[in-house]
Structure 1
């Protein structure tokens, strides 16, 4: 199954699709309190989203516009080109349920491939306790909030709309819409359409993009 222009993912559901390099994917929250947990794997199955390297190289503890999502090999998987929110959680991981695992098995993956992920539309903060533990921030995302990613190489994306793992029942399962523009196929290695312009990026992100473009040229 491919991501074909628009797909509405109900609450408490999961879905997966290939996305070709150069395509953009926009996620839209369809109600307050949405959470869209996303795993990203390169279509060649060599590159997996590496949250620690993504954060360390770009001096951030959150996913926000202008960040490149990097793989284990330091390559660019996708770039966050726009977002109505300046904070998307990537420290907590996925709710321990079977939604994402079921989608992974459709592509020949297993439980060992359930790696670190991004919780779009969700935010965590440091709690005021002796352990300085993470706590879920309610009322962060609202209906109509959006985030747009550009695929910097051919990808497999996996999305779950289960509540955030730390919400403790404070968040319901909310539907999310996924959209890609309708591009015509070009003749540059099979990519589709013109890539979205890069936002202002750190040097480490620019290097990851350059290496990736050289690899897939």
Structure 2
């Protein structure tokens, strides 16, 4: 995928692919209430994958935006957020299930509604995992791009709507990755209608990392994670 690649994930849709190191993945929402659940895995060693607790505690944050990195459980950087016109991406609320979608939007089934049935993140993500020889044991907490979940001082979590139409967020891949995506509602979205925002993906070559890189310099933990990533790549160069 070194050349430019474009696809659109329609509401309820899912997508997965291997994306090599050194690419930019720009995700752009076509409307409001967009929510793109995302799982990331090291393409060659999928036991290494996005780790939500390590990502948040290392960067002292409960949300993701430009300058943040997505860390693995090995203390390495899977991807960096290089650009973001949204400003807040949810890391905490998890994913929708068949039961939660049925309860909120009404029961639909493929047998009766065909492609108009309302999908959920859990089933979408698991289907894509199976396609890459992974199982339910590999399922973990996703990032919910475009959604804003606020944590109050008493620990309560609250969904806060934000304008997402035309907004985008860009990831730079720091490893060869398996990227798994589901365009399904945020589990805390209070809306009574299933969201209708498609998300466009554009994958291109990323610019090289410079010493002034926003993600590299965000905090000391980020620089150490990048160094861990670069060292691992240097030691295993040509192994795959």
Shorter-chain TM-score bucket reads 0.7 to 0.9
Aligned to 1:88: 89
For 2:78 and 2:155, how far apart are their aligned partners in 1? 32
Alpha-carbon offset, residue 4 of structure 1: 5.6
Alpha-carbon offset, residue 194 of structure 1: 3.8
For 2:34 and 2:54, how far apart are their aligned partners in 1? 26
Equivalent residue in structure 2 for 1:143, among 152, 165, 170: 165
Aligned to 1:114: 139
For 1:7 and 1:89, how far apart are their aligned partners in 2? 23
Equivalent residue in structure 2 for 1:102, among 109, 127, 143: 127
Question: Tell me, what secondary structure is at the counterpart of 1:28?
Answer: strand
Over the residues paired in the alignment, what is the CA RMSD in angstroms? Answer: 2.1
Q: Any idea what the Cα deviations from partners look like across 1:23-49, whole Å, max 9, x if unmatched?
A: 010000011111111000110213110
Q: Which aligned pairs between 1:28-47 and structure 2 lie closer than 5 A?
A: 28-44=28-44, 45-47=46-48
Question: Tell me, what secondary structure is at the counterpart of 1:177?
Answer: strand
Higher helix share: 2
The yes-or-no answer on 1:215 pairing with 2:232 is yes
Alpha-carbon offset, residue 196 of structure 1: 5.2
Alpha-carbon offset, residue 141 of structure 1: 3.3
C-alpha contact 1:127 1:135 (8 A) present in aligned 2: yes
Aligned to 2:110: none
The yes-or-no answer on 1:202 pairing with 2:219 is yes
Alpha-carbon offset, residue 2 of structure 1: 9.8
For 1:216 and 1:15, how far apart are their aligned partners in 2? 27
- Give the TM-score normalised by structure 1: 0.87
Q: Any idea what the Cα deviations from partners look like across 1:135-193, whole Å, max 9, x if unmatched?
A: 2112x132111000100000000111101011143451421001112x4xxxxxxxxx6
Structure 1: unaligned runs, 5 residues or longer? 184-192
Question: Tell me, what secondary structure is at the counterpart of 1:7?
Answer: strand
- Give the TM-score normalised by structure 2: 0.79
For 2:209 and 2:24, how far apart are their aligned partners in 1? 7
Aligned to 1:15: 15
The yes-or-no answer on 1:58 pairing with 2:71 is no
For 1:93 and 1:195, how far apart are their aligned partners in 2? 33
Structure 2: unaligned runs, 5 residues or longer? 98-119, 235-240
Question: Tell me, what secondary structure is at the counterpart of 2:90?
Answer: coil
Alpha-carbon offset, residue 132 of structure 1: 4.0
For 2:27 and 2:58, how far apart are their aligned partners in 1? 25
